[in-house]
Structure 1
């Protein structure tokens, strides 16, 4: 197993068993990650895992791709990521289809979407995104003259359906691979930071946003806010229990300032029939001095990983207890987290 942690100065690859840390893409501001492990079938019909393919989006240098688990990276899709092929935009979101690992979607700043059919090696622009009615209202407060695709989530039940969160301004949905778009479905959040799905509940989508936590039961066509027990409304990280689609962990703070600048964030467990409870006494540092965590689902039931400026942590029982990985990681917020 490897854990991939994206920071503003490069990518850290962590061996959680030993705590060993290796750095890749040194000096690059890594914004987003997608890690997929394609299956191969040999001549005898046996299935075996290949090395994970790692896609890392950077703010200044476009998309990087590794096909050997992160040992070596090469620039990917460089001629096509950007207006009229003039060079890379900042890559701010990337996602791999659960139906076909060759299909990858890429989001950028300014807000554009791209589709790859060869695992991220090349990409083509997906049209129509900035023609949506709400596009004139999109704006990212720290850089108010622009905006970006913050998150891309594939639908477990439909390979042509994708959900995109625009920071800030809209959640949008395409049911047909980008041919048409639904702008701001009813109840959707305006400042979506992360989304999550689960194959055992393929019509459900969770969304963590600066304006709350929401849930959809119809693949993103409509949304309901869920906030019972959630006493902090600026929600950032999100991961679903691999063994239970009704259970998720989120990181949240009182405001963007508390999450990113002051450092006063908390970890919560969401249970669909019970609401939220705050996990302040389970082994994960929260409160003063803790910036918002990024989260990632593991492979085993109950396994969820969390990374903040206080280190890398894992729960193997969906939040009942949390243990720290003894890894030497930067004492500052991470941008993204992935597990393979």
Structure 2
């Protein structure tokens, strides 16, 4: 693994909080101040215009680093004491930040986190797993007024006016949204990962097609999903045997989801591959995390993978930035 990256891992459980590596995973520091002991960090986002700046969302508020994760400060917000599950930063106006919480609701700041407004979108507050949570937020890089929210379990929401108003995308996609990604093109292709199937839409969510049913994968339970920066045909899918389970794998498609291959990992993951981290500074460098604390990396866009020596408790979020 190259040492020219800084990595931040958001963890939950006893070893929760933020862990920071300034050298590509060789050495790690647990950030204690200002995170309370046992902080549950499930969301992170890198500023599109400045990789030194990173946001982290926990069950006790939202935090920001100005030095690639080496130190952090807490922002005032109305989300204190509420579990944050997702963060998105507007790529065109990076003072605009969106935050998704559990129970499912959305907040927006238009002044870089100095003040916040709860958005007027009515999401489900109960489902068969308890309170739903906003598992994914995305701002369209080509049209920053288009914002997407994925809810587990309440489906997909879409805003066409920068978050002022929202539409619940009805039908065509399973409502248990685990992950989402945007594959840039003409038009854009929005991809949604659900427990047993991956869906895509090219008409802003008006209709969806099945990209793949995961019984075609080596393991059936789909979770994390990511598109390689700069190459919309390359898609990574993280899978496992069950939601928690004891096995995981990485699937890769190089033809926009028409065919998939299982990429060999150096050791068998101990649980579902929960998420991926990419950055346009190096499209070939990708991080993948298992739910139960393992971290894998590739420097060749998924051809080969190595396991980072350090293991964590449950991993809720992971990002990397160039040094």
- Tell me the TM-score normalised to structure 2 length: 0.85
Instruction: State the shift of 1:107 in Å.
Output: 0.8
1:138-177 matches, within 5 Å, as 138-139=126-127, 141=129, 144=130, 146-177=131-162
Q: Which residue of 2 aligns with 1:65?
A: 64
1:223-238 matches, within 5 Å, as 223-227=208-212, 229-238=216-225
Distance across 2 between alignment mates of 1:319 and 1:32: 24
3-state secondary structure, aligned to 1:293: strand
Q: Which residue of 1 aligns with 2:286?
A: 304
Distance across 1 between alignment mates of 2:25 and 2:81: 36
Would you say 1:278 and 2:262 are equivalent positions? yes
Distance across 2 between alignment mates of 1:169 and 1:207: 13
Instruction: Extract unaligned runs of 5+ from structure 2.
Output: none
Q: Which residue of 1 aligns with 2:42?
A: 31
Instruction: State the shift of 1:121 in Å.
Output: 3.3
* Runs of 4+ deviating beyond 4 Å: 198-202
The question of whether the paired residues in 2 share the 8 Å contact of 1:104 and 1:117 is answered with yes
Distance across 1 between alignment mates of 2:120 and 2:224: 29
Q: Which residue of 1 aligns with 2:113?
A: 120
The question of whether the paired residues in 1 share the 8 Å contact of 2:7 and 2:24 is answered with no
- Decide which of 237, 248, 265 is 2:235's aligned counterpart: 248
The question of whether the paired residues in 2 share the 8 Å contact of 1:16 and 1:325 is answered with no
| Aligned Cα root-mean-square deviation (Å) | 2.3
Q: Which residue of 1 aligns with 2:298?
A: 315
- Tell me the TM-score normalised to structure 1 length: 0.81
- Decide which of 97, 108, 111 is 1:104's aligned counterpart: 97
Would you say 1:263 and 2:246 are equivalent positions? yes
Q: Which residue of 2 aligns with 1:294?
A: 275
Distance across 1 between alignment mates of 2:158 and 2:127: 19
Distance across 1 between alignment mates of 2:143 and 2:198: 23
The question of whether the paired residues in 2 share the 8 Å contact of 1:238 and 1:296 is answered with no
Would you say 1:54 and 2:54 are equivalent positions? yes
Q: Structure 1 pair 243/177, CA: closer, same or farther in 2 (3 Å)?
A: closer
Would you say 1:7 and 2:11 are equivalent positions? yes
3-state secondary structure, aligned to 1:30: coil
The size of the alignment, in residue pairs, is 305
Distance across 2 between alignment mates of 1:16 and 1:67: 17
